[in-house]
A and B are shown apart, each in its own frame.
Chain A
């Protein structure tokens, strides 16, 4: 008997040494717990055993033998408080005459070991309980170490995850910075999302003013509801149940997460994602990450648009500068001195550069052509047509032809040279510096004013505007014998249609009243008064058309 006892003790000790060596070799929690359970179950011949861990006050079954998975799940989802035996036991599955022993270390209660009823149906003796406590004490250190390692691993994994996200953000910001095109931006965004969340269902939606659209997706049906989505004013993310509730249509398309892409709090787009692949759900940090890369992408998209707009605007401005240059070069640099005529003229370009033109061309010692015109349209095309007109005029002025038939020829030339519906309102006349006679043709231009003795006469003889159709009817002309102190005012509609800040026009009446009141002044003063009055009327308002005036005072 004595010998038998010694043998038993020796066997127990050997088992303890063996157990200690095994569990302390490994830092793997599962391995340690498995060993603990199997050792105890083998020793006491029980078919059921489990280890419960204390996870921040909640009891969780971490390892179990001989217990169905459903039972374990039921326990683990039941949020059982980790306390004494009386709190844990009621939640446990039926184990018969079982024993529960705490696993403690310097860090407090790590958990507890539960062993089921012995096959022999005998109770656990005091001696056996003591032995179990010894085993647990040995195991506790190993469990503690394994737990610390697991925590470290978890922390490391989280850190790796964060580093990975940061490097993604860095990478994307670098790529997006290169002003790559919209398709590429959306592809890179999509790939980063897919790579992180392993979902193959996604859509990237861009709310551009007046052009809401899906820029990339694996769910083509989203395109049908894009306008509707724009109207929903989504300002915060929706996940899972709230997608189901607020966006049943998206939920029907297997969308699990909706995250707005915002610039300065304004939603400019949406990222839609399906269920996250693998074993995870979307967590708060995931959504933060999606917000971050969404912002990067949307800013990049917007920048690209702003850049294109700026480029477009710059191109336009350069074009306008060019048009202004052309126009300026077309206008006469100086006005010839004449015996009977005191002439002053000006042309003020509007911001957009209209197509006003005037010219004074010497034919010979006594005859001068005076011309004013307004080409339809603005910018470079108008300037080019104006340049054409001047070339025609300069060459035709040298011909010995009646001004009326010359006008017909010019109309034919202009008609041939305009294909896009442009036209020119045009007035020109020839003044004789020996006889004071003046012959003019008006091709659809605002009739110039002839002021004689306080009366106004409109110079409106002529024909249709230039460039609309080839000349069918000859242009009419009129010859007027001018008298001393006659005042001729030629102008473009930029004068009479000059806008005030209240959007009111200067009007023909105002111009006529003005010129009637200043017939006594020399040409340059009359011109000055007209521009002064027009400026006063405009009162700083931006003018959309050029303003051109020629004043001829007969001496």
Chain B
């Protein structure tokens, strides 16, 4: 099984989380820690780059659900970018596109943030 890795980059006021490998029940707590750390640091504008994510299970999707409200309540959001088609189809299957901004790339997500900030 491909390892799960998560990295964090800051781009001005935006936090970019890079995910790679398999995000499932086993690895979900790692992403959870990322989100709680960001909330502790009052960083609520989050772009998650899924370029290298191979697989996501519903437990992995649940982590996004668990933190989206906190981010939005604090004028932030979680935007998902660069999804592989196989990963997108899982998000789509469970109805995520209705609730989340799922975008082409980081730039598009950041522009959307800036637009919403106006």
Mask, B8-39, CB within 8 Å of A = 1, is 00000000000000001110110010000000
Interface-side segment among A12-20, A195-203, A339-347: A195-203
Query: What is the CA–CA distance of A164 and B60 in the complex, to the nearest angstrom?
Result: 12
Residue from B26, B59, B89 in contact with A195 in the complex, judged by beta carbons closer than 8 Å: B59
* Known A191-B28, A195-B59: A157·B93 in contact at CB below 8 Å: yes
Does B88 count as interface, using CB distance less than 8 angstroms? no
Query: What is the CA–CA distance of A193 and B63 in the complex, to the nearest angstrom?
Result: 10
Contacts of B103 in A (CB 8 A): none
* Known A277-B95, A278-B99: A187·B29 in contact at CB below 8 Å: yes
Instruction: Across the interface, name the chain B residue whose C-beta is closest to A172.
Output: B25
Residue from B68, B89, B95 in contact with A160 in the complex, judged by beta carbons closer than 8 Å: B89
Does A161 count as interface, using CB distance less than 8 angstroms? yes
Mask, A58-100, CB within 8 Å of B = 1, is 0000000000000000000000000000000000000000000
| Residue count of chain B within 8 Å CB distance of chain A | 26
Query: What is the CA–CA distance of A280 and B26 in the complex, to the nearest angstrom?
Result: 28
Does B107 count as interface, using CB distance less than 8 angstroms? no
Instruction: Across the interface, name the chain A residue whose C-beta is closest to B68.
Output: A200
Query: What is the CA–CA distance of A161 and B29 in the complex, to the nearest angstrom?
Result: 24
Does A433 count as interface, using CB distance less than 8 angstroms? no
Q: Are B60 and A195 in contact (CB under 8 A)?
A: yes
Q: Are A193 and B93 in contact (CB under 8 A)?
A: no
* Known A157-B93, A171-B57, A278-B95: A194·B62 in contact at CB below 8 Å: yes
Does A279 count as interface, using CB distance less than 8 angstroms? yes
**Whole-angstrom distance from the CB of A555 to the nearest CB of chain B?**
78
Query: What is the CA–CA distance of A161 and B28 in the complex, to the nearest angstrom?
Result: 21
Does A175 count as interface, using CB distance less than 8 angstroms? yes
Main secondary structure of the interface of B (DSSP, over half): helix
Does B2 count as interface, using CB distance less than 8 angstroms? no
Contacts of B24 in A (CB 8 A): 171
Q: Are A191 and B62 in contact (CB under 8 A)?
A: yes
Q: Are B98 and A192 in contact (CB under 8 A)?
A: no
Mask, B46-60, CB within 8 Å of A = 1, is 000000000001111
| Residue count of chain A within 8 Å CB distance of chain B | 29
Mask, A134-165, CB within 8 Å of B = 1, is 00000000000000000000000100110011
Does B87 count as interface, using CB distance less than 8 angstroms? no
Give the residue among B57, B58, B63, B95 with the most A Cβ atoms within 10 A.
Answer: B58
**Whole-angstrom distance from the CB of A371 to the nearest CB of chain B?**
61
**Whole-angstrom distance from the CB of A254 to the nearest CB of chain B?**
13
**Whole-angstrom distance from the CB of A131 to the nearest CB of chain B?**
41
**Whole-angstrom distance from the CB of A217 to the nearest CB of chain B?**
12
Q: Are B93 and A190 in contact (CB under 8 A)?
A: no
Contacts of B58 in A (CB 8 A): 164-165, 168, 191-192, 195-196
Q: Are A184 and B29 in contact (CB under 8 A)?
A: yes
Q: Are B59 and A198 in contact (CB under 8 A)?
A: no
Instruction: Across the interface, name the chain A residue whose C-beta is closest to B69.
Output: A200
Q: Are B25 and A191 in contact (CB under 8 A)?
A: yes
Query: What is the CA–CA distance of A181 and B118 in the complex, to the nearest angstrom?
Result: 45
Query: What is the CA–CA distance of A533 and B79 in the complex, to the nearest angstrom?
Result: 83
Q: Are A195 and B95 in contact (CB under 8 A)?
A: no
Q: Are A164 and B69 in contact (CB under 8 A)?
A: no
Does B110 count as interface, using CB distance less than 8 angstroms? no
Query: What is the CA–CA distance of A40 and B62 in the complex, to the nearest angstrom?
Result: 48
Does A167 count as interface, using CB distance less than 8 angstroms? yes
Give the residue among B60, B66, B89 with the most A Cβ atoms within 10 A.
Answer: B66
Residue from A164, A165, A198 in contact with B99 in the complex, judged by beta carbons closer than 8 Å: A198
* Known A171-B24, A172-B25, A200-B66: A195·B93 in contact at CB below 8 Å: no
**Whole-angstrom distance from the CB of A257 to the nearest CB of chain B?**
15
Query: What is the CA–CA distance of A171 and B22 in the complex, to the nearest angstrom?
Result: 12
Residue from A164, A174, A194, A278 in contact with B98 in the complex, judged by beta carbons closer than 8 Å: A278
Residue from A160, A175, A218 in contact with B93 in the complex, judged by beta carbons closer than 8 Å: A160
* Known A188-B25, A191-B63: A198·B96 in contact at CB below 8 Å: yes
Known contacts A160-B93, A195-B61; 8 further A-B pairs (Cβ under 8 A): A161-B93, A188-B25, A191-B58, A191-B60, A192-B62, A194-B65, A196-B94, A278-B98
Interface of B toward A, CB cutoff 8 Å: 24-26, 28-29, 32, 57-66, 68-69, 89-90, 93-96, 98-99
- 14 A-B Cβ contacts within 8 A? A160-B93, A168-B59, A171-B24, A171-B25, A172-B25, A188-B28, A191-B28, A191-B60, A191-B66, A192-B25, A192-B57, A192-B62, A196-B58, A200-B69
